[in-house]
């Protein structure tokens, strides 16, 4: 780990000013940043500690039914907040499927939004990685790549975004509140993370010094609470990143789907919103045929980036499964294995 300057600002504005200097990073829980620093994949010159900033640790419900969640709210606190879990169950299910209970007790909302890829070549400083060292190449292209991207990748980078949390947020049109040198602005989660193109080192839409201060979910997202699920296929039962994941949310009335939301994780460098699939589901009956058609549309642009063609069919099948379970209705209690399509006791409570 390199030597760095440690700064503990007293206000958001002080934090933004300090972080506007080149080589600066923000420190929240550090569950991603500290690992990268120990590996040498991140070598900041200045670490800005935002853990004690006022006003970032609250869940604020608005009169219109929308909610503002401070960036320092812990993942477990949000997932187990009764009103939040009841109003946005698909988000709570995604939160509880990520990492371990210990990490969820430490990890923050803002940090989860800003976590970086877990691609082994990004983390290994001996490997070529355009995301970590622009212009060096991408060893993943000819390396171990069975878990890499099948959508939105480029010759420069085939990494995937690791977050569970962000997948339903994209589906529900969540927005980040951002403070920066030029004041406050909102950035949609769908626009926050960038596809690699020819500049994979540019991972988000944030400008230098900008800090996510809150996450906001709109009131109309609550309309999907009765028919919403998050499913995740992983290589082991818990504490594993998604091979493929899917968030599905439906509004059903009169035997037809009035509106649909669908997003995928583990398939691209950002959470992938499947808008064409959503459109074909509207006004359709909730049948396996309709779900299969939506799945085909969602993966119509997919192509392997290596030895990962299986992920395309896996994603199609997971979409059908997620839509089918959404149609059955959101469970009253969190499944024993949240987000798992293989949970055998779906009515059991998840232990905190």
pLDDT band of residue 348 (cuts 50, 70, 90) is very low
Q: Please indicate, yes or no, if residue 82 is contained in any of the structural domains.
A: no
Helix, strand or coil, per DSSP, at residue 202: coil
Provide the mean pLDDT of the chain. 95
**Host domain of residue 309:** 224-328
Q: Please indicate, yes or no, if residue 104 is contained in any of the structural domains.
A: no
Average pLDDT over residues 194-223: 98
Q: Please indicate, yes or no, if residue 250 is contained in any of the structural domains.
A: yes
Average pLDDT over residues 6-22: 97
- The better pLDDT of the pair 239, 173 is held by 173
pLDDT band of residue 343 (cuts 50, 70, 90) is low
pLDDT band of residue 339 (cuts 50, 70, 90) is confident
pLDDT band of residue 344 (cuts 50, 70, 90) is low
Q: Please indicate, yes or no, if residue 254 is contained in any of the structural domains.
A: yes
Q: Please indicate, yes or no, if residue 239 is contained in any of the structural domains.
A: yes
Beta strands in the chain (DSSP E): 5-7, 24-27, 46-49, 59-61, 67-70, 175-180, 183-188, 211-217, 228-233, 244-253, 256-265, 272-273
Least confident of 6-15, 299-308, 327-336: 327-336
Give 63-117 pLDDT, tens digit per residue. Answer: 999 999 999 999 999 999 999 999 999 999 999 999 888 999 999 999 999 999 9
Q: Which CATH number does the domain housing residue 232 bear?
A: 3.30.390.50
In angstroms, the CA 161 to CA 159 distance is 7
Q: Please indicate, yes or no, if residue 315 is contained in any of the structural domains.
A: yes
- Confidence check: pLDDT of 347 > 70: no
CA distance from start to end of the chain? 34
């Amino acid at each position: 780990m390199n030597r760095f300057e440690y700064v503990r600002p007293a206000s958001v504005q002080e934090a933004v000013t300090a972080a506007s200097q080149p080589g600066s990073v923000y420190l929240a829980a550090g569950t991603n940043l500290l690992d990268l620093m120990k590996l040498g994949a991140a070598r900041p010159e200045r670490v800005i500690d935002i853990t004690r900033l006022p006003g970032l640790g609250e869940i604020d419900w608005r009169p219109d039914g929308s909610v503002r969640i401070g960036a320092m709210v812990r993942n477990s606190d949000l997932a187990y907040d009764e009103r939040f879990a009841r109003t946005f169950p698909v988000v709570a299910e995604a939160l509880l499927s990520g990492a371990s209970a210990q990490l969820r007790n430490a990890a923050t909302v803002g940090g989860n939004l800003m976590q970086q890829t877990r691609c082994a070549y990004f983390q290994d400083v001996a490997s070529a990685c355009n995301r970590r060292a622009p212009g060096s190449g991408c060893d993943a292209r000819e390396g171990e790549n069975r878990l890499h991207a099948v959508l939105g990748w480029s010759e420069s980078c085939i990494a995937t975004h690791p977050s569970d949390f962000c997948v339903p947020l994209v589906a529900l049109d969540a927005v980040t509140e951002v403070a920066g040198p030029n004041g406050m602005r909102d950035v949609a989660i769908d626009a926050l993370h960038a596809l690699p193109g020819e500049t994979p080192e540019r991972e988000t839409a944030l400008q230098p010094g900008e800090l996510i201060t809150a996450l906001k979910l709109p009131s109309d997202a609550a309309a999907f609470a009765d028919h919403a699920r998050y499913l995740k296929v992983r290589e082991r039962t818990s504490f594993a990143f998604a091979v493929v994941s899917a968030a599905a949310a439906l509004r059903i009335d009169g035997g037809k789907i009035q509106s649909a939301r669908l997003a995928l994780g583990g398939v691209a460098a950002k959470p992938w919103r499947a808008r064409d699939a959503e459109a074909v589901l509207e006004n359709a009956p909730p049948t396996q045929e309709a779900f299969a058609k939506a799945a085909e549309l969602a993966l119509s642009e997919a192509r392997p980036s290596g030895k990962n063609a299986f992920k395309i069919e896996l994603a199609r099948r997971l979409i059908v499964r997620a839509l089918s379970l959404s149609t059955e209705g959101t469970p009253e209690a969190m499944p024993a294995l949240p987000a798992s399509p293989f949970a055998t006791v779906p009515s059991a409570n998840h232990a905190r």
